[in-house]
Amino acid sequence: MIEILIVAALVIWSAIVVFKKVFPKTSNSVFTSLSSACESKGWTTLAKWLKPAMAAGCGGSCGCAATDSPAQQKTEVQAVKWK
């Protein structure tokens, strides 16, 4: 019985992750409405957990980072010169 619950939780979690990746705008609107419904019932902790992060930068949903920090530059690989 416990195995069924664990597998069900993993499948539901995976479905939510895929839903957020494939349909970002729809998932934001769904989770925003769920968050506001939970907040109206007084479940503030669940509402904060469900509320999606606000997009920053280029408007969101494009795959770029939501933070304003610059990307880390990679160090150049230098060839070894044998003498």
Task: Answer with the residue of higher pLDDT: 5 or 68.
Answer: 5
Model pLDDT for residues 37-60, shown as the tens digit of each residue? 989 998 888 888 888 877 665 655
- In this predicted structure, what is the pLDDT of residue 15? 94
Asked, for residue 30, whether it belongs to a domain, the answer is yes
Residue 18 token pair: 């895929």
Asked, for residue 80, whether it belongs to a domain, the answer is no
Asked, for residue 77, whether it belongs to a domain, the answer is no
Token look-up 């980072």 returns: 65
Of the pLDDT bands very low, low, confident and very high (cuts 50, 70, 90), residue 81 is confident
Asked, for residue 34, whether it belongs to a domain, the answer is yes
Q: Concatenated DSSP letters for 24-70? A: HHHHHHHHHHHHHHHHHTT-HHHHHHHSPPPP-SSSSSSSS-SS-PP
Asked, for residue 36, whether it belongs to a domain, the answer is yes
Q: Which domain range does residue 46 map to?
A: 23-51
Overall number of domains in the chain? 1
Residue 7 token pair: 């597998």
Report the largest interatomic distance among the alpha carbons of the chain, rounded to a whole angstrom. 75
Asked, for residue 7, whether it belongs to a domain, the answer is no
Asked, for residue 65, whether it belongs to a domain, the answer is no
